[in-house]
Structure 1
Amino acid sequence: KYTITYQTKSVRDTTKLDSAGRYNYENEDMQLLIGDKVSYFYSVTHHTYMENLRKSIDGNNMLIPTSNTARGNLTMEFYRNYPVGKSTYIDNVLSEEFRIVEPLEQPQWDIIADSTKQILDYHCQMARCSFKGRTWTAWFTTDIPLDNGPWKLCGLPGLILRAYDAKQQYIFNCVGMKQAKEDENITYSSDFDKYAASTMKEFVDYQRKAIPEDILATQGIKIEVPEEMKAEMMKALAKPQPSNPLEL
């Protein structure tokens, strides 16, 4: 059992660039938990944010934090080989929850000869693949013979320590790893089985078109925000949000 931490950079809105023409990245820490048969990938940053948000909810009034608390851009939870031979992808668009169960897939990698790099003192090799609409570069180490990595990137003869797509809209960079304790187990909430069974295409389409104001209204959720933020918040909620899904 291992716990791998990836410092992750992702772009939510590809149309917004800084003065030098560079993307505005969202930064978060994600973890890959590797068990004997199942692995689990999730955002620690988003998980922590949601835990704190739940504590602030009073009835049906959701209090929007005014601080610059990191909330995480990648909200999915991904289980590989659960159920056996399949993967389970859990995600949400505001209060709409989705459960996507698919057959296990493995990218078809080309390992680049004579490519070397040191990452966290591990000798790494480069590999490339086209997968789920993006071209990926990965650096893996055979010093850790686990065919796993961030998100759905797997199938190399060693653990992936760094991965990024060709446009560098998603960057996963391993910053630490440790052996998990014996009593640390990967858990799957029974609540997930109540989520709507969906396909990745249905989820991505919904994510692109969803208008937050409509979703929250159907759930009977009222949002309270400070008066000085109200006009800007309502304007933002009345239109689809920027969407740059990991899978295209």
Structure 2
Amino acid sequence: MRLFLLTGYIFCFISLGHSQINEPLDYKITYNLEFKALKNSEERQNENMFLFVSKNYSKFMSQGKFNLDSLMNAKKKLGFNRFMSSLPQTKFLFFVINELSTDKIWFQEKIATDKFLYEEVIKFNWTNHQATKSILGYNCRKAITHYQGRNYTAWYTSEIPINSGPYKFSGLPGLILEIYDDKKEYHFLIKGIESLPKGNTLTFNSKNFINVSKNTYKETLQKYIENPFKSFEQKGGSVGFNKRQKKAFIKEYRELSKNKNVIELKENDE
């Protein structure tokens, strides 16, 4: 166990054990995500999301996050100006890795400049229904579940024997092709599935991230929302704002954050 100083608080980091993945990728599955980004607006936005699948794992991320990672790898070759002008737009900068034979997932996202990773075991309580429909020519069955304050309807097919789906959803006897909450504030729908040529690999090493519990991740995120300058300044950084400007920025940032319609609601809302 080790200690890490962040935003003026000392957090105890949990020992999750070292996890490393390096295996060939078999498929890339593309979903369209239609989502309600803000609580005070009924406007829906759209993003493409990718699910990469290997023999034992899947990795879920936005197309924008995938493009950003590719761009970061090519940053030195592009030069600063071309790099900045090429930055993709996305509201989802996390990735989720699902171990297909278990209920274990890894969730990674940056807070400020720190790359946080937490491990979670999710046992979805799926209820199967007799309803069926066809999606992309695949016969699908209906199942429902509840997760983090939202009721979800999923359509899955046993014709594609992959125990995974968008975001953290898994545990059905086949690939989830469509899933949405009862208000359709988050609606994932498959657009296509393709086999990947040899040479594509899923790589992951938990040592590359700051391993914490989910609660510590959420607490750290909340502290960042309360004062997004604090951790940067404690590391010796400087921002070109005076006190009045900083106060106004922090107030606006808090209000924007409170208005964000996150996919996971509070656990006590369940």
TM superposition score normalised by structure 2 = 0.70
Aligned match of 1:33: 52
Aligned match of 1:214: 230
1:198 to 2:212 alignment: yes
1:23 to 2:43 alignment: yes
One of 145, 148, 156 as aligned partner of 2:161: 145
Q: Distance in 2 between matches of 1:204 and 1:157?
A: 31
Q: Distance in 1 between matches of 2:161 and 2:249?
A: 46
1:43 to 2:43 alignment: no
Identity of aligned residues (%): 24
Aligned match of 1:227: none
Of Structure 1 and Structure 2, the greater strand share is in 2
Q: Distance in 1 between matches of 2:171 and 2:203?
A: 23
Aligned match of 2:124: 107
Q: Distance in 2 between matches of 1:132 and 1:62?
A: 41
Q: 1:64 deviation in Å?
A: 11
Q: 1:236 deviation in Å?
A: 4.4
Q: 1:66 deviation in Å?
A: 8.5
Q: Distance in 2 between matches of 1:208 and 1:136?
A: 26
One of 94, 97, 106 as aligned partner of 1:79: 97
User: Any unmatched runs of 5+ in structure 1?
Assistant: 225-230
> For each residue in 1:169-222, what CA deviation from the matched residue of structure 2 results, as whole angstroms up to 9, or x when unmatched?
22211101011223221111x4x5243222223323333442333344345556
Q: 1:153 deviation in Å?
A: 0.8
Distance 1:147 1:195, change over 3 A: closer
Q: Distance in 2 between matches of 1:205 and 1:64?
A: 33
User: Any unmatched runs of 5+ in structure 2?
Assistant: 1-25, 266-270
Asked if the contact 1:7–1:174 (Cα under 8 Å) also holds between the matched residues in 2, the reply is yes
One of 148, 154, 160 as aligned partner of 2:170: 154
The root-mean-square deviation of aligned C-alpha atoms, in Å, is: 3.5
SS in 1 for 2:134: strand
One of 114, 137, 143 as aligned partner of 1:127: 143
Distance 1:24 1:84, change over 3 A: closer
TM superposition score normalised by structure 1 = 0.75
SS in 1 for 2:202: coil
Greater RCO (Cα-Cα under 8 Å, separation 6 or more): 2
Of Structure 1 and Structure 2, the greater helix share is in 2
